[in-house]
Amino acid sequence: MPTRLLILAALACGVGSAVVRAVPAPIQPPPAEQPPSLEEIAGRVEELAGKLGLEVSFFQSNAEGDLVDAIQKAAGSCNALILNPAAYTHTSVALRDALAAVELPAVEVHLSNIYAREEFRQTSMTAPLCRGVITGLGAEGYLLALRAVASLLNE
C-alpha cells in the first residue's frame, strides 16, 4: 500500500484571500507579488511527493465541519496529515479534537507568520497535537512540511 498523505486547507490556505492581506502594514506588509494559487501549490507538492515516493490528496473547505470530517476519514486511508487551519487555528476545538482522535502524525502550515500578526492570531489550538509547525515561509512551507512528514514516516 502506498504511503498516503492528506493535505487540508481552510479558507484556500489564505492564498489570494483577504485573510492574508487584511493584516495592517505595520504588522505584515503586503506581498510584493501575487502569492501562488492553491492549484500552483498543489502542483509543486505533487511533484515533490512523487520524488519522495508519497501519494498526496488535497482537501480544501471553508466549513469547519467538512475539515473535521476529512480528518476523521483520513484515519482509515492516510499515514499523515499536513494542515493549514487558517483562521480556525485560533478557535477550533473541533479540529483539535479531530486531530487528537485520529492520532496521525501531522504538520501545521501557515503561509504568513502567525507570530508577526495580531496577538489573538498567535495562539494555535491545533499546534500542540502536531509534530511541528511551519509558519511564515509562504508556499515553500508546504514543501518543507512534505519533507518533514516523509522523514517522520521513515523513523
- Cross-strand pairs, 7: 58, 82
Domain 3-19+31-153: top CATH class: alpha beta
**DSSP H or E stretch at residue 93:** helix 93-102
pLDDT in tens, the chain (155 residues): 566 766 766 543 333 222 222 333 334 445 556 777 788 888 999 999 999 988 888 888 888 899 999 999 998 888 999 999 888 888 889 999 999 999 899 999 988 887 777 776 677 889 999 999 999 888 899 999 999 999 998 88
**How far is residue 56 from each of residues 35, 109, 131, 152, measured CA to CA in Å?**
22, 16, 18, 15
pTM of the model: 0.79
| pLDDT value at residue 120 | 67
| pLDDT value at residue 101 | 96
